[in-house]
Amino acid sequence: MKNKILFVLCLLSGLMFINAGLNNFFNYIHVPDDLPEEAMNMFMAMTEITWLMPLLATFEIVGGILFIIPRLRALGALILTPIMFGILAHHFTLGFGLAIPLVMAAILIGAIIDNIEKYLTLIK
């Protein structure tokens, strides 16, 4: 039962990362008009570095796909961890919408804990 619940949570989280990555390429999600000015300034600064957003989107898509597949979940979690730290830092500094990033971070941490033996072999 635990494995099925973890799979569903990782599936939903992975799909959210894939959706965010695809949105960086195709811009199909409308940006709210009431977005804080600090957030808009940050997004504009990130888009000035032309290679950064496509690279981030690629890692989100690849990491999301790997995170869904149970056998490759540990690798997907490694790819998504720095992205999740950036998302959390962004939401903590701007102070809006913390619920979804905290839940996604908890799912990521849970997957890392579930696959801890795979990470320990990397350290040894």
Cα-flanking dihedrals φ and ψ of residue 94, to 5°?
-90, -20
**Over the stretch 16-39, which tens digit does the pLDDT of each residue have?**
999 999 999 999 999 888 888 888
Q: How far is CA 30 from the centre of its chain?
A: 19
pLDDT digits (tens, 9 = 90+) for 62-100: 999 999 999 999 999 999 999 999 999 999 998 878 999
Is pTM beyond 0.85 here?
A: yes
